[in-house]
Chains A and B, each alone.
Chain A
Amino acid sequence: QSALTQPASVSGSPGQSITISCTGTSSDIGGYNYVSWYQQYPGKAPKLMIYHVNNRPSGISDRFSGSKSGNTASLTISGLQSEDEADYYCSSYTNSITLPYVFGTGTTVTVL
């Protein structure tokens, strides 16, 4: 199962909005509404930010939002803050015969 494709890096200035894309196929993102997004600081564990395409867990800022169109999911961070500087990974359910989930390649967000 190939990893979902994310841009290696995205950057923005404080207060701006940025969008991270996550591209898959009809066997994963395009076929199911089970896309999630994780934030990871260096040396730390991943943290769930968005699940089921566009749902935020309790305690996650509404500056984070998710969407999906066709085989591509997106994470938008609005009002960018320095604390948003981290790695972000998408994940999707997939109809693989082995493990049913696949991660994206990861995107490093830099706040300029």
Chain B
Amino acid sequence: EVQLVESGGGLVQPGGSLRLSCVASGFTFSYNWMYWVRQAPGKGLVWVSRINIDGSTTTYADSVEGRFTISRDNAKNTLYLQMNSLRVDDTAVYYCTRDLAWGRFDPWGQGTLVIVSS
């Protein structure tokens, strides 16, 4: 079964850090670009970051540029999102997903909740 499982979310104070992980199974992880998407409570989906197959190319939304770092370990079939200088408006469920080809995003992980609050 093709599957993505996120972990690492939790409650953190403003200015703090968290590292999210996304473990892939059921497919050749190193073949696909990977993305992080977030959804604030009661809000819509927003693209956060992406990484190419070998990790040499990364892209970020303006709102997280300079604070978040996406990376991957193909040997461990794992995608990461290092989140620093967290702000209250980073509070959201964070999903990882695979780009099969030109915006065909499937599957999605179950999501991990990040709450930034004092």
Write the residues of chain A forming the contact surface with B, with a CB cutoff of 8 angstroms. 3, 34-36, 38, 40, 44-48, 51-52, 57, 89, 91-93, 98-106
Contacts and interface: CB of A to CB of B under 8 A. Distances in A.
B45 A103 contact: yes
Contacts of B72: none
B44 A36 contact: no
A102 B110 CA distance: 21
Contacts of A47: 108
Interface residues of B, number: 25
A104 B43 CA distance: 11
Given A44-B110, A51-B106, A57-B104, 4 more contacts: A45-B95, A52-B102, A99-B50, A101-B47
Contact of B104 (A45, A51, A92): A51
B27 interface: no
Given A103-B45, A105-B44, A106-B44, A93 B105 contact: no
Q: Is the interface of B mostly helix, strand, loop or mixed?
A: strand
Interface string B95-118: 101001011111111110000000
Interface string B45-63: 1110110000000011110
A49 B2 CA distance: 16
B109 A91 contact: no
A52 B50 CA distance: 19
Contacts of A101: 47, 103
Nearest to A6: B44
